[in-house]
Amino acid sequence: MTHTPTTPDAATGEAEATEAWTPRIVAFVCNWCTYAGADLAGTSRLQYAPNVRIIKLPCTGRIHPLFILKAFEQGADGVLVSGCHPGDCHYTAGNYHARRRWALFRRLLEFTGIDAKRLFFSWVSAAEGQKFADLINAVTAEVRQAGPFDPTNPARKRPWT
């Protein structure tokens, strides 16, 4: 397990705001396309930012919006959701279902105070190793720009003191 450059505070678990802050990004990706694409980026020795934690799911259709909320809740500064291009879903239509959910959920998140700049969606196929690397670099740069996710944001604020 890679060593995270930030030191979580023992009492709160929050990242201390030091110059060493670097974005923590969670990526929910589908097994058949984006995960394979990420793998290809690796085997092709493409360099990309190390800030993303990948969570592999069988299909983007498996993603309940709660996963996105949970990531922000538990410490993510940004969330990426990525899967197969429309028409290429291994389970035929999982990504079509996901697309509708995302279209609505992102508006709700934006309305309730999660900056749209922190939430990313993409289609990355198994052959798009370069696209994956470029995407991670872009997402990381944008989240770095947005700064650490505010621990007092209602989606993150711990329910106890």
Partner 1 sequence: MDLATLRRDAAALLSDGRARLVIGFRERAGSCVPAFVTDAAGAETLVYDDTCTANLAAYLRKPEIRHRRPVALVARPEVMRSLVLLKAEHQLEADDVVILAVGGDTYHGVLTIEETERLLNETYADLAPDEAVLAEIGRIEAMSPDERARFWSEQFAKCTRCYACRAACPMCYCERCIVEKNVPQWISTAAAGHGNYAWNVIRAFHLAGRCVECGACEAACPQGIPLMLLNTLVAREARDQFDAHPGYDAEAEPVVGSWNKDDDEEFIR
Partner 2 sequence: MKILDASKLSNLAETLAGAGYRVVVPVEDGDRVRYAEWTPDATIRTDAFPVNSVKEFLLPRSEVIDRYQLDGDDFTPVEVSPAAPRTVLLAVRPCDAAALAMLDTIFNWDYEDDLYNARRAATTVIPIVCTQADAQCFCTSVGGAPDASAGADALLRPADGGARLILEPLTDKGSALVEAAGAALADGEAAPDAPADVPVRFEPEKVRAWLADNFESDLWDILSYACLGCGACAYACPTCHCFDMQDEATRTESVRLRNWDSCGFALFTKHAGGHNPRPDQAARWRNRVMHKFSYIPERFDLLGCTGCGRCARLCPAGMAMLEACTRIQEEARKAPAHES
Binding site for partner 1 (CB under 8 A): 65-66, 69-70, 73, 86-87, 93, 96-97, 99-117, 120-123, 135, 150, 152-160
Side chain identity, residue 78: G
- What distances in angstroms separate CA 6 from CA 18, 19, 53, 70, one per listed residue? 8, 9, 15, 20
Helices assigned H by DSSP within 112-146 = 129-146
For partner 2 (CB under 8 A), the number of binding residues is 12
Q: For residues 20 and 108, which CB has a smaller minimum distance to partner 1 in the complex?
A: 108
7 forms part of the interface with partner 2 (CB under 8 A):
no
Stretch that binds partner 2, among 6-14, 23-31, 86-94, 118-126 (CB under 8 A): 6-14
Give the nearest distance from C-beta 3 to partner 1 in angstroms. Answer: 27
DSSP letter assigned to residue 116 = G
d(CA 91, CA 139): 27
Instruction: Please give the Cα distance from 31 to 132 (Å, whole number).
Output: 14
The Cα 135–Cα 41 span in angstroms is 11
CB of 10 to partner 2, least distance (A): 6
Amino acid symbol at 13: G
Per-residue contact string for residues 12-41; x = within reach of partner 2 by CB under 8 A = xx----------------------------
Shortest separation between residue 153's beta carbon and partner 1, angstroms: 5
Chain positions 71 to 90 lying near partner 2, rule: CB under 8 A, are 74-75
Nearest to 8 by CA among 69, 68, 58, 75: 75
Residues 141-160 interacting with partner 2 (rule: CB under 8 A): 158-160
- CB closer to partner 2 out of 12 and 112: 12
- What residue has token string 């990426």? 80
